[in-house]
Amino acid sequence: MKKLDPQDWSPFWKNQSITSFGELFPDNYDGPILDFWRIQLEGQPAHVVDLACGNGALTWICNDILNADDAESRITGVDFADISPFRVLGRKPEDFPAIRFIGNTPIERLPFPDYSIDMFVSQYGLEYANPEEAIPEIGRTLAATGRLGLILHDRESSIIRGATEHLDDFRRVAEEIRLHDLAFEMDRLYQKHKNPARRATIPEFNTLMAQIRHASGRVDDMARHHPGNSPLHLYVRRLNSAFDQTKKRSRTERNKLITRARDAFIAHIRRVEDLSAAALSASGRERLVALLETEGMKITGMFTLEYKAEKNIGTALSAARCAP
Ligand SMILES: C[S@@+](CC[C@H](N)C(=O)[O-])C[C@H]1O[C@@H](n2cnc3c(N)ncnc32)[C@H](O)[C@@H]1O
């Protein structure tokens, strides 16, 4: 499985969602997550860097916590995607003088001098990078008294279980049933035979209709077990809409809708695959801890984070550089 690269993430952050889990955290991370960050940020670190910041969910939180009165701490969000959180979220840089975002910047190659950063933070971010390169880079740039706060995806968490629950169904629809290919074929026949009455008498059209009915039946059987806002329902709704007779769509519009239905559905599958590959198993966590210790850091806390009714939404970890 191919890992998502910056070109895959960049379009994702052009939408106005502040986190990548818009349904779970529509306004930003809150509750015990916010409490965790309040504790981590005690002591007013002078320069905080949010690793893999996306649209800056955690960067904004750090600013709210640290600079509620006068701006005293600098906060820099970095991400390897081409991000522009100020523009996308409609916020003015002059209203947030302490915040800076740097896109196109992998954690593995940070644009900071040695020992210059007082605190690194990352929420659902660091685990996407290559730890063998990212942790030494954090080690290079973290100050001698620097600290680290992380919330990491856990393979056992309810976020991962929820996201992957219907993944096999999604893959079957996208790779085997391929309703979108049948829709493209239907689009071709609509173009070739414009008269609906005449179309209905053409054997090629009737064969395709039978294939679509069969494929749709299989998809409906799966979708019945998914929540109404599932990506599979959205995919089917978009395909149906392409052939909505009340809309009198042009060929270009139809084609666009089918392409969008297919691409958005496949992009969702790839994001979930990337998410579950990034999420840490117990041995992945051990490896991360060993790498941090190699860089002279001491783990000062590590626990499973609860959120509302969920018993596990990830692992919270804090570390501090030990005096040499
Ligand atoms: C699940 S999103 C989390 C974003 C943000 N921290 C949040 O909580 O909303 C993961 C982010 O990691 C970024 N990312 C993945 N690999 C990276 C790397 N090697 N270096 C920097 N950013 C990376 C992606 O571009 C994406 O924005």
Question: Using alpha carbons only, what angle is made at residue 22 by residues 16 and 24, rounded to the nearest 5 degrees?
Answer: 160
Q: Is the CB of 137 under 6 A from ligand 1?
A: no
Mean pLDDT of the chain: 95
Atom from ligand 1 closest to the CA of residue 54 = 27
CA of residue 87 to ligand 1 center, whole Å: 18
Fold annotation for 6-157+279-321: Rossmann fold (3.40.50)
pLDDT score for 1: 62
Cα distances (angstroms) measured from residue 219 to each of 155, 210, 215, 255? 28, 14, 6, 21
For residue 71, is pLDDT > 80?
A: no
Which phi and psi (to 5°) does residue 144 adopt? -60, -25
Least Cα distance to 37 among 25, 27, 50, 24 occurs for: 50
Least Cα distance to 133 among 282, 238, 288 occurs for: 288
Least Cα distance to 119 among 321, 323, 288, 324 occurs for: 321
Q: Is the CB of 20 under 6 A from ligand 1?
A: yes
CA of residue 309 to ligand 1 center, whole Å: 26
User: Closest residue (by CA) to atom 7 of ligand 1?
Assistant: 19
- CA 9 to chain centroid, in Å, comes to 8
- Which carries the bigger pLDDT value, residue 178 or residue 23? 178
157-186 tens-digit pLDDT? 999 999 999 999 999 999 999 999 999 999
Query: What whole-number distance in Å separates Cα of residue 63 and Cα of residue 73?
Result: 8
Instruction: Please give the average per-residue pLDDT across 131-143, as a whole number.
Output: 98
pLDDT score for 22: 78
For residue 21, is pLDDT > 90?
A: no
- Which carries the bigger pLDDT value, residue 20 or residue 61? 61
Instruction: Please give the average per-residue pLDDT across 210-225, as a whole number.
Output: 96
Q: Is the CB of 154 under 6 A from ligand 1?
A: no
For residue 156, is pLDDT > 80?
A: yes
CA of residue 135 to ligand 1 center, whole Å: 15
Q: Is the pTM of this model over 0.85?
A: yes
CA of residue 57 to ligand 1 center, whole Å: 11
Lowest mean per-residue pLDDT among 191-200, 298-307, 311-320: 191-200
Question: How is the chain split into domains, by residue range?
Answer: 6-157+279-321, 163-275
Query: What whole-number distance in Å separates Cα of residue 275 and Cα of residue 62?
Result: 24
- Number of C-beta neighbours around residue 172 at 10 A: 14
